[in-house]
Amino acid sequence: MNAILPQVSPASTLPSADELDRALRDASPAEIIAAALNTVGREKLALVSSFGTESATLLKVMADVDPAIPVIFLDTGWLFEETLAYRDTLVATLGLKDVRSVKPAEETLTREDPDRDLWFSDPDACCRIRKVEPLARALKPFDAWLNGRKRFQGNTRADIPVVEDDGARLKFNPFANVSREELEAIFVRAKLPRHPLLASGFRSVGCMPCTSRTAEGEDERAGRWRGRGKTECGIHTMKGS
């Protein structure tokens, strides 16, 4: 597909999310990332990555388009050491040039989670101070962001558009239409390294206290906040910043 999209535009004249979604509905992930780049420019576009079990694919496609697009990584203080090591591996492997590790505000942690047990008593509040608020702060300079959600992940992700408006900026979902098989093909074709915990049964990896292994036949995100009735951390449901 060769979508006709505007070149870099001032924020006040950006095309709407609906316009972009219609234009990019059948585009490839690389075409969607290139369109986002052309629409807002590198200085106003960020990719948000957890460096989780599927993250290498989106980062690879982005790096092929422009490895200098800023990448925001939320270092919550509860991540597995394997995830931190995997981040460093992918940065080196893919030649990523601008990865920004964002941490929660120390004063907020001291005030709201002094004993580091908020994940147990109120996981939504824990996600808010360790993920949602830091990301909102990190995204302030940007007019658009890229993320790796896919429709095949189900639940609240089953009907995500290719482009949406998060209330403050454009939000591009380059892998919305990608199938599990296509994702695996990218891994194999590019010989991408796998997340170290994948072989141990962790098919979706987040913070240590709220991540568990998944059994055969379970949804891949079943190990996130198991038994909590919670499926999202909140960064994909936040509106504005």
In the three-class reduction of DSSP (H, G, I as helix; E, B as strand; rest coil), residue 119 is classed as helix
Kindly name the residue from 127, 207, 210, 233 that is annotated as catalytic: 233
Burial of 234 (0-12, 13-18, 19+ CB in 10 A): middle
- Residue 214 CA to residue 13 CA, distance in Å, equals 45
Q: Would you tell me how many other CB atoms lie within 10 Å of the CB of residue 217?
A: 6
In the three-class reduction of DSSP (H, G, I as helix; E, B as strand; rest coil), residue 72 is classed as strand
- Residue 21 CA to residue 25 CA, distance in Å, equals 6
Token pair in block for residue 51? 């460096």
- Residue 46 CA to residue 140 CA, distance in Å, equals 10
**Catalytic residue list contains 233:** yes
What does the chain come to in residues?
A: 241
Burial readout 177-193 (b: 16 or more C-beta within 10 A, e: otherwise): bbeeeebeebeeebebe
- Residue 161 CA to residue 18 CA, distance in Å, equals 9
Q: Would you please indicate which residues are annotated as catalytic (active-site) residues?
A: 233
